[in-house]
Amino acid sequence: LGRTCPAVVLTCGCGSKHSRAEETHHLEEICPLPAVDCPVEGCTETLKRGALRAHIAQAAQRHLQLLQASVAAQERRLEAQRKTLEEQRQRLEDQGQLIAHQQTELQAHSSAQALRTQQVAQQQEQLEYCREAVEGPAARCIAAVEVFRASRAAKTIMVSGVTKLMKGATPSPEVVSPPFQLYGYTFSLSS
């Protein structure tokens, strides 16, 4: 029972009396006997907790020098970090400007591409118009040649109705083309 009861009073090597329940707190926070490291950064002294106050008072000058050195080192690290952050900020700004420039170029290229696409579509329409204008009359003309081929006596064949085959043409009084040769026959187109 004495080994586990939290109310049992224990006596520490430092002379302090406390309950078993308070033993951990006493040893970690209060007891002057355990060895502790000096809390001043850079000081490597290890001493009994009870001697810590005397050590801090006696080594105040040395501790002040250690703290000054520590602060100076932190200032150098901060300055290096500030420079690094400034360089990164500058790179980000440069990249932002590059991205903005590339976006402007991309928009210009996109506009140019859209214009070229529109021009190609217009040229395709014009080509189709020309193809229809050329192929329609030519096909009819070739058919007429085949019809009149049987009549070898004809030296000149007048093909009428060409005006109807040409899109967008306006009718006018009789228009006659100069004679031309096709399959051994002489043709002249008229409206």
pLDDT tens track for 5-38? 888 899 999 999 999 999 999 999 899 999 999 9
Q: What would the mean pLDDT of 124-145 be, rounded to a whole number?
A: 67
* pLDDT for 154: 42
Q: CA 117, CA 72: separation in Å to the nearest integer?
A: 66
Is it the case that residue 52 has pLDDT exceeding 90? yes
* pLDDT for 181: 75
Is it the case that residue 81 has pLDDT exceeding 50? yes
Which of the listed ranges 26-35, 119-128, 132-141, 163-172 does the model predict with the highest average pLDDT? 26-35
Residue found by looking up tokens 């002249």 in the block: 188
Cα three-residue angle 154-158-159, rounded to 5 degrees: 125
Is it the case that residue 86 has pLDDT exceeding 60? yes
Q: CA 179, CA 186: separation in Å to the nearest integer?
A: 6
Residues above pLDDT 90, as percent of the chain: 53
Rounded mean pLDDT of the chain? 80
Is it the case that residue 110 has pLDDT exceeding 60? yes
Is it the case that residue 157 has pLDDT exceeding 60? no
pLDDT tens track for 161-178? 443 344 344 445 565 667
- Give the global pTM: 0.41
Is it the case that residue 153 has pLDDT exceeding 70? no
Q: Return all residues near 41 (Cβ < 8 A) that are at least 6 apart.
A: 66, 67, 70
Q: What would the mean pLDDT of 47-62 be, rounded to a whole number?
A: 94
Q: Which of 3-7, 24-28, 98-102, 153-157 has the lowest mean pLDDT?
A: 153-157
Q: What is the 3-state secondary structure (H, E, C) of 9-50?
A: EEECCCCCEEEHHHHHHHHHHHCCCCEEECCCCCCCCEEEHH
